[in-house]
């Protein structure tokens, strides 16, 4: 109920539509398809020109047909899957590259090897080596396959073709360069996208936690009040004060439900007024006030609500757990800093054995430190508990 | 020899109850009015004096700072025993000559300790006045406090326990209490001696807040 009516951003925690990784994969797929269209255009165009020069036109046409068919199927698969990390297809494509590299000499005279349009196997092999780099994540496999392609190219270029050793070796470097280059770029893109998705999930989770904490903050004190109001053993003498607090809590919950990001309830600004407004809700506590030194200090407006809530929570804790015979509320100001201490002489607790509950951990420490205020909690069994809050004075001059 | 005391309170329950709460003190008499005390003048070490002695709708009853002043002038050491927590009213009691203050809500041992301290001529103040003493010190009204006395006053004003103060300042609890006793004495002395201008300057107390609490 709270979730749906308070903060639309909570919905971000749902399925990660528009995530970066699938988007990166789609772009890589599109890149593969576009480049393959270019290679295919070269194959078709080169084959048309090379048929007349071919030793075996039928074989030459058949090889071009196989390449065209495989390319069309590959593009269709990529278009549907929208991701190029399809290992089987990467292998099929690489195998096609090797096969064409090895088979084309059977259809064309070696002298045509320097004509890359007619001898399209060289371009196709570069493309398939690159695609293999896109479908694999292993440097070893990409390195091995691209170097193997280089060796094959050098062998064919020097034994069957007329390229000579120097040119063969130089041109064969294209295969590892493309293989590793594509692998590197695709890994980088995928890594960036994965990180972006992780950051987004973390941000959504942080937002969700923040909203949950706000909800907890709002209902935390209310739960204590409800328990006390519902407890038949609650002394009748404190019922009027509890009812007064209950009305305030009710108003705050109503504000929270209707206006989650709107202005919070206006609270007094001077430390003395904050203390006074909070402590009137706890007439049952044996409080002793020593607030003169800090009563007139102005607390920054953005801090006042959190300070009031923190003090309320601390006093709720005293009421529920401390069994105190004295609660000293002390306020002071020194060097543009104000300080409030709430110290009870109650049962105390062992901070190592009993970690702070939600109220102290979140409403006091969490909220105040988030605002840049300091909180110190000191307690030991039998030694009572002291909570000291320190913060900066407002820029305005303190009231006279 | 045990401390001898007398109680002056218009509540029968208190007159009967206090001796039970402070068993180490020998209560030699109990009176409903200060006038009765001044009439009988028993020999005691301390007087536990209630601040309000109206006893119903009685008019012209000696009570408040006037009663304190007369009882103190008669040579008694006065410890106010009251529910009153307003600091300036309590300060007026010290100004009128009371040596100490104990609250009726305090525990038996605490009340007994306060009465015994006053019987020895020591000043005792309750937590509600410690904050006022700190305010006075900060505003220059207690210039003769030592650094240690200031440290103990600062700690007590924040409600720190004796044991914790002693541990933190590397002194014994007894020494910590002695420092505070010295602060209380200087504070009470200030209240007795301060002019109206002093009170207004140091504590922001105007005429009527403290001087006219008769």
Q: How many angstroms away from the CA of B28 is the closest CA of chain A? A: 30
Q: Is residue B152 part of a domain?
A: yes
A385 has a chain B CB within 8 A of its CB:
no
Specify the pLDDT at position B210.
Answer: 59
Q: Is residue B205 part of a domain?
A: no
B39 pLDDT more than 60: yes
Q: Is residue B65 part of a domain?
A: yes
What value does the mean pLDDT take over residues A344-368? 77
pLDDT above 90 covers a percentage of chain B that reads 53
Q: How many angstroms away from the CA of A328 is the closest CA of chain B? A: 5
**Of the partner residues B107, B131, B163, the one whose CB lies closest to the CB of residue A330:** B131
Question: Higher-confidence residue: B75 or A138?
Answer: B75
Average pLDDT of the residues of chain A: 82
Q: Which residues of A touch B131 (CB under 8 A)?
A: 288-292, 330
Condensed to tens digits (0 to 9), the pLDDT of residues B8-22 reads 998 888 898 899 989
| Minimal-distance CA residue of chain B relative to A388 | B158
Q: Which residues of B touch A343 (CB under 8 A)?
A: 158-160
Compute the distance between CA of residue A82 and CA of residue A193 in angstroms, rounded to an integer. Answer: 15
Condensed to tens digits (0 to 9), the pLDDT of residues A229-268 reads 888 888 888 888 888 778 777 767 766 665 444 444 444 5
Q: Is residue B213 part of a domain?
A: no
Q: How many angstroms away from the CA of A315 is the closest CA of chain B? A: 15
**Domain endpoint, select from B68, B94, B119:** B119
Compute the distance between CA of residue B79 and CA of residue B99 in angstroms, rounded to an integer. Answer: 6
Question: Higher-confidence residue: B53 or A106?
Answer: A106
B134 has a chain A CB within 8 A of its CB:
yes
User: What total number of domains does chain B contain?
Assistant: 2
Question: Higher-confidence residue: A24 or A360?
Answer: A24
**A289:B138 CB<8 A:** no
Check whether residue B185 and residue B81 sit in a common domain: no
| Minimal-distance CA residue of chain B relative to A291 | B131
**B134:A286 CB<8 A:** no
B164 CB-near residues (< 8 Å, 6+ apart) = A383, B155
Condensed to tens digits (0 to 9), the pLDDT of residues B200-213 reads 778 777 656 654 54
Domain A266-392 top-level CATH class: alpha beta
A12 pLDDT more than 50: no
Q: Which residues span the domain enclosing B168?
A: 127-195
What value does the mean pLDDT take over residues A56-80? 91
A11 pLDDT more than 50: no
A294 has a chain B CB within 8 A of its CB:
no
Q: Which residues of B touch A330 (CB under 8 A)?
A: 131, 157-159
Mutate to test the interface with B, among A285, A287, A292 (most CBs of B within 10 A): A292
Q: Which residues of A touch B158 (CB under 8 A)?
A: 290, 328, 330, 341, 343, 386
Compute the distance between CA of residue B114 and CA of residue B108 in angstroms, rounded to an integer. Answer: 10
What value does the mean pLDDT take over residues A168-178? 91
B147 pLDDT more than 90: yes
Q: Is residue B208 part of a domain?
A: no
CATH number at residue B152: 1.10.10.10
**B127:A286 CB<8 A:** no
Question: Higher-confidence residue: B170 or A218?
Answer: B170
CA B10, B14, B19, B23 dihedral sign is: negative
Q: Is residue B36 part of a domain?
A: yes
Check whether residue B22 and residue B104 sit in a common domain: yes
Specify the pLDDT at position A356.
Answer: 66
Check whether residue B136 and residue B63 sit in a common domain: no
**B159:A345 CB<8 A:** yes
Check whether residue B42 and residue B98 sit in a common domain: yes
3-state secondary structure chain B: CCEEEEEECCCHHHHHHHHHHCCCEEEEEEECCHHHHHHHCCCCCEEEECCCCCCCCCCCCCCHHHHHHHHHHCCCCEEEEECCCCHHHHHHHHHHCCCEEEECCCCHHHHHHHHHHHHCCCCECCHHHHHHHHHHHHCCCCCCCCHHHHHHHHHHHCCCCHHHHHHHHCCCHHHHHHHHHHHHHHHHHHHHHCCHHHHHHHHCCCCCCCCCCC
**A328:B159 CB<8 A:** yes
Paired strand residues for B101 = B80
Condensed to tens digits (0 to 9), the pLDDT of residues B92-118 reads 898 899 999 998 878 888 899 999 999
Paired strand residues for A328 = A288, A343
Question: Higher-confidence residue: A76 or B52?
Answer: A76
A288 has a chain B CB within 8 A of its CB:
yes
Q: Is residue B105 part of a domain?
A: yes
Specify the pLDDT at position B194.
Answer: 83
**Of the partner residues A292, A293, A343, the one whose CB lies closest to the CB of residue B159:** A343
Q: Is residue B31 part of a domain?
A: yes
Mutate to test the interface with A, among B111, B127, B138 (most CBs of A within 10 A): B127
């Amino acid at each position: 109920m709270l979730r749906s009516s308070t903060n639309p951003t909570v919905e971000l925690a749902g399925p990660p539509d528009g995530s970066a990784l699938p988007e990166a994969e789609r772009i890589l797929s599109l890149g593969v398809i576009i480049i393959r269209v270019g290679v295919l255009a070269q194959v078709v165009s080169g084959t048309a020109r090379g048929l007349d020069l071919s030793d075996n036109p039928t074989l030459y046409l058949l090889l071009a047909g196989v390449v065209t068919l495989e390319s069309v199927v590959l593009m269709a698969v990529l278009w549907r899957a929208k991701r190029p990390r399809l290992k089987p297809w990467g292998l099929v494509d690489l195998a096609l590259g090797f096969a064409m590299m090895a088979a084309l000499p059977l259809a064309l005279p070696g002298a045509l090897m320097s004509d890359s349009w007619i001898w399209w196997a060289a371009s196709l092999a570069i493309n398939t080596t690159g695609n293999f780099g896109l479908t694999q994540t292993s440097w070893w496999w990409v390195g091995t396959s691209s170097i193997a392609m280089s060796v094959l190219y050098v062998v064919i270029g020097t034994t069957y073709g007329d390229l000579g050793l120097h040119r063969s070796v130089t041109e064969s470097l294209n295969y590892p360069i493309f293989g590793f280059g594509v692998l590197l770029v695709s890994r980088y893109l995928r890594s960036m996208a994965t990180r972006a998705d992780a950051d987004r999930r973390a941000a959504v989770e942080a937002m969700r936690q923040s909203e949950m904490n706000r909800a907890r903050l709002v209902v935390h004190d209310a739960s204590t009040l409800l328990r006390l109001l519902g407890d038949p053993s609650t002394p009748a003498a404190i019922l009027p004060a509890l009812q007064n607090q209950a009305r305030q809590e009710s108003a705050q919950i109503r504000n929270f439900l209707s206006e989650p990001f709107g202005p919070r309830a206006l609270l007094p600004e001077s430390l003395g007024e904050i203390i006074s407004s909070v402590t009137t809700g706890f007439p049952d506590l044996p409080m002793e006030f020593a607030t003169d030194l800090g009563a007139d200090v102005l607390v920054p407006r953005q801090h006042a609500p959190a300070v009031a809530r923190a003090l309320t929570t601390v006093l709720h804790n005293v009421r529920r757990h401390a069994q105190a015979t004295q609660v000293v509320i002390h306020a002071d100001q020194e060097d543009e800093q104000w300080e409030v201490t709430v110290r009870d002489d109650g049962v105390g607790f062992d901070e190592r054995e009993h970690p702070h509950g939600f109220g102290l951990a979140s409403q006091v420490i969490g909220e105040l430190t988030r605002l840049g205020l300091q909180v110190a909690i000191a307690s030991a069994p039998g030694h009572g508990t002291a909570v000291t809050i320190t913060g900066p004075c407002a820029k305005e001059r303190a009231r006279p | 020899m045990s401390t001898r005391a007398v109680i002056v309170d218009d509540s029968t329950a208190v007159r009967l109850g206090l001796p039970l709460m402070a068993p180490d003190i020998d209560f030699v008499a109990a009176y409903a009015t200060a006038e009765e005390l001044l009439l009988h003048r028993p020999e005691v070490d301390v007087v536990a004096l209630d601040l309000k002695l109206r006893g119903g709708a009685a008019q012209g009853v000696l009570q408040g700072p006037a009663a304190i002043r007369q009882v103190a002038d008669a040579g008694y050491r006065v410890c106010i025993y009251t529910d009153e927590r307003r600091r300036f009213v309590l300060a007026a009691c010290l100004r009128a000559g009371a040596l100490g203050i104990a609250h009726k809500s305090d525990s038996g041992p605490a009340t007994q300790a306060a009465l015994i301290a006053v019987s020895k001529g020591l000043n005792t103040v309750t937590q509600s006045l410690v904050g006022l003493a700190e305010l006075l010190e900060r505003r220059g009204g207690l210039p003769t406090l030592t650094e240690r006395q200031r440290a103990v006053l600062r700690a007590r004003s924040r409600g720190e326990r004796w044991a914790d103060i002693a541990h933190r300042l590397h002194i014994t609890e007894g020494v910590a209490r002695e420092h505070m006793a010295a602060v209380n004495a200087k504070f009470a002395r200030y209240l007795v001696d301060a002019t109206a201008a002093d009170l207004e300057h140091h504590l922001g107390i105007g005429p009527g807040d403290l001087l006219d609490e008769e």
